[in-house]
Amino acid sequence: MAAAGGKLPSSGSRSSKDPAVMFIVGSKIQKVRLIHMKKSANKKGFLVDETLSEKVTHIISELETQDQVVKSLKKSHPSSDVEKICGQCHVVTLEYFTSCMEEGIFVEVCDHHRLKTGKRVAPIMQSKTEENPYENAKYCCQRITPLHSVNKKFSDALELLEKHADFLGGDNNLGRALAFRKASAALRAYPKQIKSMGDVEDLYDLKGGKHCKRIIQELLEDGFSTEVENIQGDEWFEVMQAFTGIFGCGPATARKWYDLGHRTLDDIRRSEYSNLSIEQRKGLEHFTDLNTPVTRREAEKIHSIVKTEAERILPGVTVIMTGGFIRGKDSGHDVDFLISHPEEGREEELLAQLLQNLRAHLIYTDVQRNTYGEAPISVKRQSVMDHFERCFSIFKLPKDEDVVTTSGIDEERIHADEEEPSSPCKKLKTSGRSSGSTHGTSENESKSWIARRVDFVMTPASQHAFALMGWTGSRMFCRSIRDYANKEMNMILTSHGLFDKVNNCSLEAKTEREIFQHLNLTYREPHERNC
């Protein structure tokens, strides 16, 4: 096979007519990976030397410095004049190799392709600057994790694997899901673009992560990951994604439906309707709306409606929009409100009245009373759900920009509390698969409003700061700060308070800053908690 494009680079003493030959240093590259690299290079017509000879023009390595390459080659090729060979050719990164594979020729060697001479500098030290302090901290609550990461390509891939593992379920897979998420969080916080495997090797949460590293390596070398693409093209995954998109349907139910042979929303409407909870029925009915991201503008409109109504009932009340929006996201899957009053306990009774006054907007409500009085904080530990009085709802938001008052809406639709779903046949398609989208819905395209998921959470003043932290998220940030509190400070942090196990007492906080102080942590703004 003819050698791919390249001629000998101008370094060294050989004739520029000699063909370019690459040698790949095996050190730090997985065996299968190495074989794959050599195969694809050969396939594309590149000459690859198996033994380090003087013909070699490009030495490709995953190591970080030329010194390391020389050291490694001396070990593997004791009979070669390693220093001389390295001296007369280009010693370059895997990124260079990837560029060559993409272009099909030996591309020009630029400065950033060349391995540095001298000792290796830890990536953390390199990136630590005044403007962008980065610490390769153990817990993600110690790091700054911005909304927009330069390593999105990598974190997105790992989060897809997280979702896949989450869908599979079972303790083992849930553990894997968390490991993927932790790795993705580490990459999201890393302020520089990942360019080589050397950049990630020292990152916490990637140290033992062989699987994660393999994915990152594939992305670095090939620009894509076969495993990720396989998941994206997988029917089971696609169906699981659609089913879990139904409000009230988690992975376990979705798996059950898949195993029963269901593949579309219409299958569920047809065969499972009588088994569905009211929540799931509503989720199916408003599937398209609820799977269309809520925009910040819509969230602000809802905020204004809720706030106006709450203030009318209880002057001095605070209605804070939390969740993804407070972290700077432009859209989200729902809108989260924390409702409180500076005077302890004044918020009691408010929710019922508020929902009553907002009834024209509410298509569905699931109200739960508070249970924080029932167990001391030290017992509650890190239970999944907190214990505030709350309402998970579906909110009907008028599409008309001008209509923001509660009176502007038609009330023809039933409310959740009065709801007894009418015959399924009336609302749901009973015919075969709908045309167009595989997961068609029965929603009315021409309606003047859009259904939005809204969470209301009622917090007493003394617990408000803790609740704010819990509901600001991200989920990973909260998991991490609770883990940190427990392991590093011997304290229990929940959305209700902070308990010091050593001194056997609760620590009060009026603001999130005070919670960080109690925990000896640098304060992180909500927009820095996007892990």
Which residues in this chain contact ligand CTP in the complex, by CB under 6 A?
Answer: 323-324, 329, 332-334, 336, 385-386, 470-471, 473-475, 478, 495
What phi and psi, each to the nearest 5 degrees, are found at residue 163? -60, -40
Task: Report the partner that residue 470 touches, choosing among Mn ion, ligand CTP, none (CB closer than 5 to 8 A by kind).
Answer: ligand CTP
Inter-residue contact 222 to 98 (CB < 8 Å) = yes
470 binds Mn ion (CB under 5 A): no
The H or E element spanning position 200 is: helix 197-200
| Rg of the chain over all Cα atoms, to the nearest angstrom | 29
Known catalytic residue: 259?
no
Nearer to Mn ion, 123 or 332 (CB): 332
CA end-to-end span of the chain: 48
Exposure string of 216-243, with b = 16+ CB inside 10 Å and e = fewer, is: bbbbbbeeebebbeebeeeeebebbbbb
Residue ranges in 375-474 assigned as alpha helix (H): 377-380, 424-427, 464-472
386 binds Mn ion (CB under 5 A): no
Q: What share of the chain is helix, strand, coil (3-state, %, to 5)?
A: 45, 15, 40
Known catalytic residue: 455?
yes
Task: Report the partner that residue 209 touches, choosing among Mn ion, ligand CTP, none (CB closer than 5 to 8 A by kind).
Answer: none
Nearer to Mn ion, 397 or 491 (CB): 397
Which candidate in 402, 455, 483, 500 is catalytic? 455
Nearer to Mn ion, 123 or 470 (CB): 470
Task: Report the partner that residue 473 touches, choosing among ligand CTP, Mn ion, none (CB closer than 5 to 8 A by kind).
Answer: ligand CTP
How far apart are CB 334 and ligand CTP at their closest, in Å?
5
Which candidate in 336, 386, 417, 483 is catalytic? 336
Task: Report the partner that residue 198 touches, choosing among ligand CTP, Mn ion, none (CB closer than 5 to 8 A by kind).
Answer: none
How far apart are CB 444 and ligand CTP at their closest, in Å?
25
Give the pair of three-digit tokens for residue 335. Answer: 């809108």
Nearer to ligand CTP, 209 or 470 (CB): 470
Place of tokens 């892990």: 531
How far apart are CB 152 and ligand CTP at their closest, in Å?
16
Strand partners, 338: 320, 457
Inter-residue contact 279 to 364 (CB < 8 Å) = yes
Q: What is the footprint of Mn ion within residues 322-341 (CB under 5 A)?
A: 323-324, 332, 334, 336
Task: Report the partner that residue 478 touches, choosing among ligand CTP, Mn ion, none (CB closer than 5 to 8 A by kind).
Answer: ligand CTP
Known catalytic residue: 334?
yes
Q: Quick one: which of 305, 304, 318, 315 has its CA closest to 357?
A: 305
The H or E element spanning position 2 is: none
Nearer to ligand CTP, 1 or 385 (CB): 385
Return residues touching Mn ion (CB under 5 A).
323-324, 332, 334, 336, 455
Q: Which residues are part of the catalytic machinery?
A: 334, 336, 455
